[in-house]
Every structure is written in C-alpha cells, then in structure tokens.
Amino acid sequence: MNSDVIIIGAGPGGYETAVYAAKKGLSVTLFEQRKAGGTCLHEGCIPTKCLCRSAEIADTITDCDTWGFHVSAPTIDFRRIMERKNEVVAQLTSGIEFLLKHKLITYISERAELFDAHTVISESGEKYTAAHILIATGSTAKRPPIEGCDLPGVLTSTEMLDIDHIPQKLCIIGAGVIGLEFASIFRSFGSTVTMLEYAKEILPNFDSDISKRLKQVLSKRGIEFYNQAAVESIERSGAQLLVHYTHKGKECSTEADIVLIAVGRSPRVESIGLDNAGIRYSPKGIETDDTLRTNIPGIYAIGDVNGHCMLAHAASFQGRKVIDHILGIDNRIKLDIIPAAVFTRPEAGMVGLTEEECKQRGVPFTVKKTLFRANGKAISMGEPNGLCKLIADENGKIIGAHIFGAHAADLVQEVSALMNRETTVAQLKEMIHAHPTLSEILQECAREF
C-alpha cells in the first residue's frame, strides 16, 4: 500500500501530524500498537491532571474554614477519583479516534517497524511505502539499575496511575516534573511523602530561584526532601519496602508502602527497525537536523523519540514543522521557544533561557522579579506564595520567564506568545491588562526594568 506519508506512533506528535497532513491534502497511513493518544493521554499529562484537580479539591475542602465554610472532614473515595480519571481519558481517546476517521487517513492498530529506507512493515506482515516516513514512537519510563527495582510495589509513573489505594507512605526517587507532581497529589490525599533526588536541587532544568521556592512551599506542606541522595538498593522488609540510600556521604534508609521511580524517560528506539533503514541513533534518541530529518532522506523523527524536548506540545509542533517542510510552506514555528510547567500546588512554569543558561552562554541580560503577594487577585484567591521572574537581553527583548505560583502555567504562556513576537519589556509595560488579574504580575515585573 502506498501513501504520501507514513507515521509510526499515534501520540500527540503522531495523530496531530496525521490530521494536519490530511487537512493539507496528503494521504497518511498511521500506525499505533496501543491506543491513540500515546503517553500523554494514557500514562502522563491527562491522567495526572485529573488527579491534580482531585488533589486541589481535597486541599480546598481541608482549608474551607478560611473561606467561611464549616464542614465535617471529607472521606476520600479513591476508587471514584480513579474512575473519573479513566472516564476523562476514554472521552478524549474517543475524540481522537473520531478525528482519525478522515478520508485521507488510514489508521492501523498494529505495531510497525521500518523494513528499509522506504518501506514500513506491519505486525501482520503487510508492507507499506511512502515518500515520507515520520517516526513518532515516543518514550518509556526509565528504570535505573538499582537492586530491587523490580520488586512488587516499586512502580513507574505508568503503574502509579493504576493503583487502587492511597499509600500511607510513598517514597519517590527523582524530584523532576513527574516525581513532584505525584508528590504534590498524594500529599494532598494524605500520604506521607519522602523524595530522594540525586541532584543538588529539585527540578534541575528549571530556574534555581523557582525550584528553591517550590521546595520550600512543598516542604511546608509536609513533603520530606533529601537532595544529593544516591539510592543504592530497595528490599522487602515485611509489609514494607526499605529504600537504602547515601545522603551527603551518610548511609540512610526509609520505609514505604510504594516506591515510585521517577527518574525520567527514555526515547523508544528499540524494535522499530532503525538499523534496517540505516538511521543514526543512540540511547539519547534519533539524530535529526533542524528540520527534524534523520540522516536518511525522506525519514523524520519527532517528539520524545528524538530526545530534543520531551513535551507533548513540542511533538505536535515538530510534526507540523515537518509537514510544512515537505510541502515547501514557509514555517515560522520557533522550536527554541517552548513553554513548560509542573502542576504541583502551587504550579511552576518556564519559557526561554534561565539566568544560569544566560551566564553559561555569555548572553548579556537583565533580570527583574515581582512577588505574588503584591497582586490583588493573588491575595483574594488566598495564593500569596509566588514569584515572577523576567529576563531581557541587552536590547530589552524578553528572552526568558520563570514563574512560581497560582496558574503559573497559564501566565508563562502569555510570555511565550510575546517572545514569539520578539516583544521588549518596554512594550509589555504599555499593554493594558485587566484588573484584577494574575496577569498584572507580568506587567508589574516589566515595570521594574
């Protein structure tokens, strides 16, 4: 069977690219061995956001006296929380499957791999050819080589989303985005949470001012952090798991009902026929150029599998960029401006360069900060903990934003839009913002320059 484009993998990068290509008049054959939607919909972004919302409600009820409501202590129905999560995922999966019924899209629910540089072979043995092949196979949760990592009760984020109870004691190895979101969620549900992180700070890729403040607030919520902690082994001790680690040279251990391994994700490069096609890759992902092309003409790699930026929205826009490149369309998508967020309580969001990156690259910059506690909307919401940090270059152009506080993910998106239009802090000062809104924090920060 022949088509204009073959896509292997129907996560956000795969299915959104298929729909976009079809709208542009290209015929597409799309393969997915599991369910359409990929990691984001089934094992990541969406299910965790459902749990984040339930955790937010739990916190609101706990603090209801502050808002003038007196209620008895609520009982958490964890079964219902997980049911709702599954309902949301099912609803969105159905929506994606509807989109894929486009007349120019052939959706095949089978595993597929490259047969050679021009051909893909399906699980059932059928061969498919196309002028252009996109690899969008995503990533898998890492399991580090720690003794006892395969014991029952030692889970990755994938299995954590299907547990049937709230653990009394939860130990999380890794304090990146995934680990912190689960820590925040299950602390709200009543778990005792201990976090072990090898690096000096949590959220190693975020601005240090943001990660330090987030750690302070989460610590006040009762989450226990141990940075510079190297996990040595995990063993079963009766009904508990015992995690052994060294912390700043001292041997330590902690007990847990469940141990969550949250040390990142690995590009899914195995068993997809990369060697058959002669594609260059490593454990860090498939090698690509600025247009997402591999070393083999006509073959591209988008999303987690190329290791550039493991975010669902990055995959979607990489796919759009590829299709435009194929069609010769002038594409101005700036893949160096990709906002990111961690949905803890409070949230953290970022886009562009951090202060540390500016120093490392020798980029002249100016940085200014504004606190949430000076914002009327934040105070009225009962969310005074927060920081906004803007970074501008020597010409005043905004090159970075780092926000910690309520709705940080939404606030950083405004800055992302401004950065795409090369806006200066002087221009931001003159843009009228509605009052009272959290977005005024951005303008107030710009006025500090």
pLDDT at position 249, please? 86
From the list 129, 138, 145, the residue with the least C-alpha distance to 286 is 138
The verdict on 46 and 187 lying in the same domain is no
Final residue before a domain boundary, out of 263, 286, 306: 263
Q: What is the mean pLDDT of each run of 10 residues along the chain (449 residues)?
A: 94 96 97 93 95 95 91 89 97 96 95 94 94 96 93 96 96 97 97 96 92 95 96 94 94 96 95 95 96 96 96 96 95 94 96 95 96 96 95 97 97 97 97 97 97
Asked whether residue 83 is assigned to any structural domain, the reply reads yes
The verdict on 10 and 112 lying in the same domain is yes
The verdict on 13 and 132 lying in the same domain is yes
The verdict on 259 and 271 lying in the same domain is no
240 vs 176, 235, 250, 406, CA distance in Å?
A: 25, 9, 22, 36
Regarding beta strands 28-31 and 105-108, do their DSSP bridges make them parallel or antiparallel, or are they unpaired? Answer: parallel
SS3 for 8-25, per residue? Answer: ECCCHHHHHHHHHHHHCC
User: What contacts 91, CB < 8 A, 6 or more positions away?
Assistant: none
Asked whether residue 128 is assigned to any structural domain, the reply reads yes
* The residue type at 356: E
The verdict on 164 and 122 lying in the same domain is no
Provide the sign of the torsion angle of the four alpha carbons 288, 292, 296, 301, taken in this order.
Answer: positive
Q: Per the omega criterion (within 30 degrees of 0), is the bond before 167 cis?
A: no
Q: Do 131 and 4 touch, CB atoms closer than 8 A?
A: yes
DSSP code at position 147: B
Binding-site residues, please? 49, 137-139, 174-181, 197, 264, 304, 310-313
Asked whether residue 102 is assigned to any structural domain, the reply reads yes
Q: For tokens 């959706």, what's the residue?
A: 107
Q: What is the CATH number of the domain that holds 170?
A: 3.50.50.60
The verdict on 101 and 198 lying in the same domain is no
Backbone φ/ψ region at 19: left (φ over 0), alpha (ψ -120 to 50), beta:
alpha
pLDDT at position 73, please? 77
Question: Two tokens at 101?
Answer: 């019924």
The verdict on 280 and 296 lying in the same domain is yes
d(CA 286, CA 274): 9
Q: Which of 70, 118, 165, 435 is catalytic?
A: 435
The verdict on 134 and 6 lying in the same domain is yes
What backbone torsions phi and psi does residue 276 show, to the nearest 5 degrees? -60, -35
d(CA 207, CA 369): 13
pLDDT at position 50, please? 97
Looking from the CA of 238 toward its CB, the CA atoms found within 13 Å total 3
Residue span of the structural domain in which 374 resides: 346-446
Asked whether residue 147 is assigned to any structural domain, the reply reads no
Backbone φ/ψ region at 292: left (φ over 0), alpha (ψ -120 to 50), beta:
left
Asked whether residue 339 is assigned to any structural domain, the reply reads no
Asked whether residue 148 is assigned to any structural domain, the reply reads no
The verdict on 125 and 231 lying in the same domain is no
The verdict on 134 and 270 lying in the same domain is yes
Q: What is the CATH number of the domain that holds 367?
A: 3.30.390.30
Asked whether residue 149 is assigned to any structural domain, the reply reads no
Bridge partners, residue 261, by sequence: 156, 173
The verdict on 271 and 259 lying in the same domain is no
d(CA 20, CA 320): 7
Final residue before a domain boundary, out of 263, 284, 304: 263
Neighbours of 264 (CB within 10 A): 15
From the list 385, 434, 388, 442, the residue with the least C-alpha distance to 417 is 442
Catalytic site residue 435? yes
* The residue type at 18: A
* The residue type at 293: R
Q: Do 55 and 184 touch, CB atoms closer than 8 A?
A: yes
What end-to-end distance do the CA atoms of the chain give, in Å? 60
Give the global pTM: 0.95
Q: Do 401 and 390 touch, CB atoms closer than 8 A?
A: yes
Asked whether residue 114 is assigned to any structural domain, the reply reads yes
pLDDT at position 49, please? 97
The verdict on 259 and 280 lying in the same domain is no
Provide the domain count of the chain: 3
Binding-site residues for NAD(+), please? 174-181, 197, 264
